[in-house]
A and B are shown apart, each in its own frame.
Chain A
Amino acid sequence: MTHSLHRLGNKNELKNDYVILAMIAASEREKIPDFRVKLLRIAEILKRYNPTNIMPEFARKLSPVITAVFTDIETVKDILYELKREDLGISIVVSGLIDEIGYATKEVGLNMHTIHLSLGTFGKKELLPKNPETLEITTMCGHHCTSSQSIEYYINLIKEGKISIEKAAEKLAKPCVCGIFNTQRAIEKLSELLKK
């Protein structure tokens, strides 16, 4: 129930981080024999707008969900406009800054239906990594499969000149099979960590 909900970062950073998710309701799958065609059509549209990451092709062919991540609200707006025009009837969820999504939906002429608000993290927070940048990177995987020590591992490899920042960001994105790990944002965060 959470997936892309608890991505950490300040408002300025989150301006470059929007996840689009398309999902066919289980109750509708039997009624729409060509639902896979519709989902793949959405994937085609998302791909055309150059996402910074997208669900890998093998998963797109099997999953009732299609996901991708984008770095600006104007692109999200254009995608929503196209999805509205296509009228495929598939549920679309956008994760990101509430105000910005409100702006985009208003421009496109959509009525926002339901919101999932994040209230943050509670409990034994002393167990969390101390660097805020670490959690800002790991929370970009919706199932938290990117580990905090892998960031340290790749930072060391970058420092030793064994890997580029871009390649390290790709490696960190690999465990995220949904393709919602924002590699562009990871590059920026790794650069910040390297300066520390």
Chain B
Amino acid sequence: MRIRENVCNGCGQCVAVCPVQAIKLVNNIAVIDNNLCVECSVCYRDANCPTKAIKMDRLKWPRIIRSPFSNVIATHKLTGIPGRGTEEMKTNDVTNRFGFGEIGVSIEIGRPGVGTRLSNIELFTTKLSKIGVEYEKDSPVTAIIADEHGHIKEDIKDERVLSAIIEFKVPEEILPQVLRIIRQVEQEIDTVFTLGIVSRFMKDNSIPVINVLSQEGFQVRPNAKINVGLGRNF
């Protein structure tokens, strides 16, 4: 993103809407810190700039990678859907992506509202790859993992994004190992992350994985996303 200094009237509306606080008023002119900016385009869309001073630059590699991880309007080529995630459990009643005995894990790095360098993904993936997790093939994060050891492509490591979601599944018995890795990375990482666990309901509507989580010291929040089983194959 770019703000034309000669056009800006210093109203500060773009400063307010920036989700990562990358815009500041300097001498009554809005200035974008390009290092912090994640190219989400929220300032362009929602600041309602009275002088139309905000411009979207044509981005070049590797900076262009910021956009699909930050700009909700940008549809990632891999997923075919707007946003950073995939279909995951939303269509599981049709795809059966997560079967009985399989657990899905989502680690959204940089959320809520702090942002992250893509290099933080490696903190997780280099450890997770050793225990053989199955990364979601349609995830934008999986697309930037360069090798079987979980390293991220070198030229994009320093790029900063609003958030990046590592999505994978494991057999239920591997979950405790995953949770211990997450606890370990929590001590090393320089940003925040949210954690989600996907599971099938048993026939009696129970969710046995909650016991495993509890044994490993993780508490489940009272709200969740629930696929209510109305989808079908055509």
Contacts and interface: CB of A to CB of B under 8 A. Distances in A.
A145 B40 contact: yes
A17 B191 CA distance: 28
A179 B230 CA distance: 22
Interface string B150-188: 000000000000110101000000000000001000100
A127 B95 CA distance: 38
Interface residues of B, number: 81
B90 A21 contact: yes
Interface string A64-80: 11000000000000001
Contacts of A112: 201, 205, 226-229
Interface string A16-38: 01000101111110011000000
Interface residues of A, number: 79
A128 B112 CA distance: 8
User: For the complex, would chain A's binding face be called helix, strand, loop or mixed by DSSP majority?
Assistant: mixed
B108 A1 contact: yes
Nearest to B97: A114
Contacts of B83: 3, 142-143
B125 to A, nearest CB: 15
Contacts of A148: 113
A4 interface: yes
B210 interface: yes
B194 A116 contact: no
Contact of A116 (B17, B89, B190, B231): B89
10 contacts: A1-B196, A2-B194, A6-B221, A25-B91, A26-B80, A28-B94, A64-B81, A93-B90, A98-B226, A150-B16
Interface of A: 1-7, 9, 11, 14, 17, 21, 23-28, 31-32, 63-65, 80, 83-84, 88-99, 101-102, 105, 110-125, 127-129, 135, 138-139, 142-150, 152-154, 174-175, 177-178
